Structure 1
Amino acid sequence: MADARQREITDRQWADATLIWEYHQMGQEPRPCDVAIGLGCHDLGVAAEAARFYLDGLVGRIVFTGGPNPSRPDHFPRGEAVHFTEHALSLGVPEHAIHQEPRARNTGQNIQFSREVLQAVGVDVHSVLLVSMPYMERRAYATCRKVWPEVEAVCASTPMNLNDYVKTIGDDGLVIDSLVGDLQRVIEYPKLGFAVAQDVPETVRDAYQRLLADGFDSKLLV
């Protein structure tokens, strides 16, 4: 397995990554929903965006979901949900508006366990605002449609382009690996029953295959 992070990213690789980045984003306008679900990851921007939606009045409560991050276990040592909650509290979200779900280890569990948390406290949910990293929007949507088809799912993430996102992470190779890995899941998860199928344009598939051939493969399913 090649280590893409030790190499300079070429213009063609960057163009392919940008095409996949844009595909991953659903382009939905955030709108009022019953609840926001902040999907666990290594990016505190998810917690900040969920907090913004609450403070702007788009949602009445937030569920932060996720255990220790598998990619960066030292980044949120007490679990993603705990650290996301603390960040949202620091931004002014009141404690009573936040629910924590600390067990989930994948996107399907994020949504299923969040659903169970909300059911346990008697919240009637018809719409959810799924808050994720920008390149996880499409996978989050497809997973929610499979796991919780009764609700209307709206996807949202911190609005930024790929260049700016890479600057926040500080590792262009890791980001491209992640874009490729998430696209693989968009393609393969419906076959495994984890998500609904979505159209993947041929141009996006071609970019995916080129980046795979170049060794951007550290985030692939085993």
Structure 2
Amino acid sequence: MEPHRTTCTADGTVVEFAVGLGSHDLGVADVTVELYRRGMAPLIVFTGATSPTTRDRMPRGEAVHYRERALEGGVPEEVVLVETRARNTGENVRFSRELLAERGVDVSSVLLVSKPYEERRAYATARRLWPEVKVVCASAPLALGAYVESVGDARLVLDMLVGAVQRLIVYPARGFMIEQEIPGTVVAAYERLRDAGFTGRLVPE
């Protein structure tokens, strides 16, 4: 492995690593692989253990399944690191940061790859927990309907979407992420979905 190689994103940002954030969605691994192939990041970290959402889908752990997907897609084994302890976005960021530090990598910018509706949460979390690096975010360029079809579980997607917005609202006060401006229309949609029973991924307030 060559840990100090860098490359540039479209805006000219120097990026040493792409970090694929673990989840139920193997599409995150596919997007990470595509960005690697396009030369946007020379090295990859996949991070994630299991959760109630992924236990059945990814019994060996999210990062492990992501890595297997990347290798099946032709990514060389030596450019992929795995972090297998993280159970939430904060731990994804913190444990990936620790893994790179242990390997002596001085990271100035990181490309975070997530589900389409998690980019804002990933950004806000990384800005709080990894403030010294520039954060660039990416995801599959899919509209909501197409994304639901790709996952095959509308209830799961809506539960996760509602949970992601709730965290943007409540987590800054807990120190888990930076404050973000949330449009009133987004808050109203969140409240409608929450009141309609899409509460499977809410955290206690």
TM-score, normalising length: structure 1: 0.84
Q: Which amino acid aligns with 2:176?
A: F
CA shift for structure 1 position 200: 0.6
In the alignment, does 2:38 pair up with 1:73?
no
Higher relative contact order (CA 8 A, sep 6+): 1
Match of 2:69 in 1: 87
Taking the aligned partners of 1:107 and 1:72, their CA distance within structure 2 comes to 14
Q: AA paired with 1:78?
A: R
- 2:92 and 2:117 mapped to 1: Cα distance? 16
The alignment covers a number of residue pairs equal to: 195
Structure 2 Cα separation of the partners of residues 210 and 140 of structure 1: 24
Residue 117 of structure 2 corresponds to residue 154 of structure 1: no
Alignment match, 1:45:
27
| 2:38 aligned residue (27, 45, 56) | 56
Gaps of 5+ in 1: 1-27
The answer for unaligned runs of 5 or more in structure 2 is 1-8
Q: For residues 46-195 of structure 1, what are the structure 2 equivalents within 5 Å?
A: 46-195=28-177
- Cα displacement (A) at 1:32: 5.3
More helix by share: 1
Q: Does the 8 A contact of 2:117 with 2:161 survive in 1? A: yes
Aligned to 2:190: 208
Q: Once the two structures are aligned, what percentage of the paired residues are identical? A: 53
**How big is the shift at 1:216?**
1.4
| Aligned-partner residue type, residue 207 of structure 1 | A
Q: Distance in 1 between matches of 2:168 and 2:155?
A: 20
Amino acid at match of 1:34: E
State how far apart, in whole Å, the 1-side matches of 2:17 and 2:92 are: 14
CA distance in structure 2 between the aligned counterparts of 1:54 and 1:135, rounded to whole angstroms: 21
Shift of 1:173: 2.1
Q: Is the Cα–Cα contact under 8 Å of residues 49 and 158 in structure 1 kept in the other structure?
A: yes
Shift of 1:69: 3.1
The secondary structure found in structure 2 opposite 1:212 is helix
1:158-184 Cα deviation digits (max 9, x unpaired): 111001111012122221121111100
How far has the Cα of 1:29 moved from its partner?
A: 6.4
- Alpha-carbon distance in structure 1 between the residues aligned to 2:49 and 2:146: 27
Q: Secondary structure at the match of 1:68?
A: coil
Rounded to whole Å, the distance in 1 between the matches of 2:128 and 2:52 is 24
- Aligned amino acid, residue 137 of structure 1: E
Partner of 2:5: none
Query: 2:157, 2:67 → 1: CA distance?
Result: 24
Moved more, 149-158 or 28-37: 28-37
> SS of the counterpart of 2:173?
helix
- Contact 2:23 2:54 (C-alpha < 8 Å) held by counterparts: no
Query: Considering only aligned residues, what root-mean-square deviation do their CA atoms show, in Å?
Result: 1.5
Whole-angstrom distance in 2 between the partners of 1:136 and 1:153: 14
| Conservation of the 8 A alpha-carbon contact between 1:32 and 1:57 | no
Conserved in 2, the CA contact under 8 Å of 1:69 and 1:75? Answer: no
